[in-house]
Amino acid sequence: MTSRLDDHAIPPGEMIGILGGGQLGRMLGFAARAMGYRVAVLDPDPACPAAAIADRVVPAPYHSVEGALALAEGCAVVTYELEHVDAALVDAVETAGVPVRPGARALRMTQDRLAERRFVASLGIATAPWREVADDDALLAAADALGFPLRLKAPIGGYDGRGQLRIASRDEVPGSVARLGRPAGTALLVERELDFVAELSVITARAVDGGLAAFPVARNRHDAGILVESVAPAPIPDAIAGAALRIGARVAEALEAVGLVTAELFLLADGTLAVNELAPRVHNSGHWTIDGARTSQFEQHVRAICGLPLGAPAAEGPTAMVNLLGAGEPRDARLEGAAEALADPLVHLHLYDKRRVFERRKMGHLTVAGAADVEEGLARGRAALARLRWA
């Protein structure tokens, strides 16, 4: 049978370029290599986590147009593991004849939180009530409209809870714009902190022909802005899961993405959903799919960007993922306790091969597949995590 995708397909044997060589690039690279693709990676650090799986590493800053063109040389397609990629860089690579996927529009709409809010609003999808502000006076006026507590967020460059701060009351407003540390006059996003009952995420793959496949919804827990745990399928009513999947599909279509798009959502007490953030890429809350879904998010992304048919996204069963974070002073990374953690045969260890460990750095994750339900999986994951430590 010939698929109608064949015309667009980039066959195995071709080279895939990845902007960013962190853990996402590494796991994307594993999946690409498993399918017979070659992998080139751009990262400022030649010993980045993805270096181990790359045929070629281009050591260059993420915003270097020159570096990106060197990366694209010999590649059939270029993708990215981070959304902070300059439009100029994407233009240069595409002008050189190499498609960048999920695509320029997906980047433009998601790399700036203010643009993202406007985009989500244009689709009629809810977010936390927000305002654009640039100084403390505007912040006070916004606070009058929004109430407290507030979250003040830099529109560009934040991740893992960096680049934002919480404002609990009016007394904390003076000086908060300066405390965020962006140049004076920078437009910032301020939004109401929502008292959510759960955080969810939905990862949707969109193929070259517009076909969609979404992974089951994940339920996530963050600690001080950093993802610590995900379970899937989320134990939520079908109607809520359905609403989350519809948001994911809407967003992936409106972004005209080719590849994966992640939507981070808040589930509110009244059963409604609000979008927190979008990411046109593989996502930490999808790591459970490596061991728990018929197709991993990484393989799915490779299939989509290469113009191949999408794989089945269904969960094999309840799956849990816990992040392994760094602790203590910066030092060479040496993990202890792997044998104890893996004494539970349902546990899988994923380490990112980062050479240095420091407080709260994402170093790896554990998954638990095959437990009776996600809560049991989570308990087993936490127990295994407690047996790991950094020497």
Residues that bind ligand ATP (CB under 6 A): 128, 151, 158-162, 191, 193-194, 199, 222, 225-227, 264, 276-277
**CB-CB neighbours of 36 under 10 Å:** 10
* Binding partner of residue 194 among Mg ion, ligand ATP, none, CB cut-off 5 to 8 Å per kind: ligand ATP
CA angle, residues 210, 213, 214, in degrees to nearest 5: 130
Q: How many residues bind Mg ion (CB under 5 A)?
A: 2
| Spatial distance between the Cα atoms of 213 and 248, rounded to a whole number of angstroms | 10
Nearer to ligand ATP, 29 or 163 (CB): 163
Nearer to ligand ATP, 162 or 389 (CB): 162
* Binding partner of residue 128 among ligand ATP, Mg ion, none, CB cut-off 5 to 8 Å per kind: ligand ATP
- In the bound complex, what is the minimum distance in angstroms from residue 149's beta carbon to ligand ATP? 8
Reference 303, options 293, 294, 295, 314; nearest CA is 295
Long-range contacts of 219-226 (CB under 8 A, 24+ apart): 219/374, 220/264, 220/285, 222/161, 224/161, 224/360, 225/160, 225/161, 225/162, 225/164, 226/160, 226/161, 226/323, 226/325, 226/360, 226/362
Does position 199 interact with Mg ion (CB under 5 A)? The reply is: no
Taking the CA atoms of 235, 206, 124 and 128 in sequence, report the sign of the dihedral they define.
Answer: positive
Coil/strand/helix, residue 108: helix
| Spatial distance between the Cα atoms of 194 and 227, rounded to a whole number of angstroms | 17
Q: Does residue 181 contact residue 188 with C-beta atoms inside 8 Å? A: no
- In the bound complex, what is the minimum distance in angstroms from residue 265's beta carbon to ligand ATP? 10
Using the rule CB under 5 A, which residue among 277, 300, 341, 380 binds Mg ion?
277
Nearer to ligand ATP, 93 or 167 (CB): 167
Cβ-closest position to Mg ion: 277
Q: For the window 215-254, what string marks contact with Mg ion as x by the rule CB under 5 A?
A: ----------------------------------------
- In the bound complex, what is the minimum distance in angstroms from residue 107's beta carbon to ligand ATP? 15
- In the bound complex, what is the minimum distance in angstroms from residue 50's beta carbon to Mg ion? 22
Site residues, Mg ion (CB under 5 A): 264, 277
